[in-house]
């Protein structure tokens, strides 16, 4: 499908359209766009599990943060994040985890503030942070990926502004993008009855977080989330199957169109 049929939501194509290696252990670095609604990570884990794929997700979120606030290098240090876990056998046994060659994560998804990439004062910090963090991620053997955030409600012009600004920096640093903003714009047109953004005009509803998780699944694994029977773990943190199926489709189509798959 020609992306121009969807209002020309972006004008810069990604140079890197996927990760080189399979992923299991993933670190998400961002802010409330990632951790609202109990976090995008359990949604992503659930979608993957429904397809027989085991993912291990770790989320580091700072409220209202830009990437400039995050010390990503410290998150990747040995004996830090994911250095231990408790067993799920009902005994809660403490287990220390050993990683071959000290590599903890296979991929790290980086998200800036919701308007940092296009803010006239903050965009330079965004560019500096992407360059620094992506180099630190690669130094551990992991692969970096940028998250493309969505437009505020009532500000549709932000879709293309964010898409192009984020893709531009991703291309400079040879990394792929998870195009959540494009999926939001597509789903809003195809499913106008579904609220993806809360009344604060920026944060995701549960449906928005589910769509975000579908985009992450498609972008990280290069597989469609379509057919997943997982629509949320809790009654108040789930979407109905019809809505979920529509969001799965919108996510996959947005990712495929953007990457030219």
Quick check: 111 pLDDT over 60?
A: yes
Ramachandran area for residue 79 (φ above 0: left; ψ -120 to 50: alpha; else beta): left
Tell me the mean pLDDT in the region 128-148: 98
Closest CA to 67 of 105, 110, 107: 110
Query: What predicted TM-score, i.e. pTM, was given to this entire model?
Result: 0.95
Query: What are the φ/ψ torsions at residue 232 (nearest 5 degrees)?
Result: 130, 150
pLDDT tier for residue 99 given thresholds of 50, 70 and 90: confident
SS3 for 218? helix
Query: What are the φ/ψ torsions at residue 159 (nearest 5 degrees)?
Result: -55, -55
Closest CA to 27 of 114, 136, 120, 123: 136
pLDDT score, position 234 = 80
Model pLDDT for residues 169-221, shown as the tens digit of each residue: 999 999 999 999 999 999 999 999 999 999 999 999 999 999 999 999 999 99
Which residues are CB-neighbours of 43 under 8 A, at least 6 positions away?
209, 210, 212, 213, 230, 232
Rounded-to-integer distance, Cα 226 and Cα 251, Å: 9
* Rounded alpha-carbon distances, angstroms, from residue 104 to 62, 193, 208, 221, 256: 21, 41, 29, 18, 29
pLDDT score, position 7 = 57
Closest CA to 57 of 72, 71, 44: 44
Q: What is the separation of C-alpha 70 from the centre of its chain, rounded to a whole number of angstroms?
A: 16
pLDDT score, position 91 = 82
Q: Are 147 and 183 in contact (CB under 8 A)?
A: no
Tell me the mean pLDDT in the region 102-131: 96
């Amino acid at each position: 499908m020609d992306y121009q049929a969807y209002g020309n939501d972006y004008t810069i194509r990604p140079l890197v359209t996927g990760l080189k290696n399979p992923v299991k252990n993933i670190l998400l670095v961002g802010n409330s766009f990632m951790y609202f609604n109990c976090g995008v990570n359990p949604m992503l884990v659930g979608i993957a599990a429904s397809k027989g794929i085991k993912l291990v997700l770790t989320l580091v979120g700072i409220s209202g943060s830009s990437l400039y606030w995050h010390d990503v290098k410290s998150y990747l240090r040995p004996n830090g994040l994911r250095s231990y876990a408790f067993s799920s056998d009902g005994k809660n046994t403490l287990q220390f985890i050993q990683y071959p060659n000290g590599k903890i994560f296979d991929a790290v998804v980086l998200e800036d503030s919701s308007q940092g990439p296009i803010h006239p004062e903050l965009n330079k910090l965004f560019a500096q942070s992407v360059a620094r963090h992506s180099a630190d991620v690669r130094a551990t053997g992991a692969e970096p990926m940028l998250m493309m955030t969505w437009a505020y409600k009532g500000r549709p012009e932000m879709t293309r502004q964010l898409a192009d600004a984020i893709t531009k920096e991703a291309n400079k640093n040879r990394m792929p993008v998870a195009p959540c903003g494009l999926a939001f714009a597509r789903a809003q047109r195809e499913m106008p009855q579904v609220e993806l953004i809360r009344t604060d005009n920026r944060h995701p509803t549960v449906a928005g977080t589910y769509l975000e998780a579908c985009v992450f699944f498609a972008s990280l694994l290069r597989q469609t989330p379509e057919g997943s029977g997982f629509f949320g773990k809790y009654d108040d943190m789930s979407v109905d199957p019809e809505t979920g199926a529509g969001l799965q489709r919108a996510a996959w189509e947005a990712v495929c169109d953007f990457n030219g798959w």
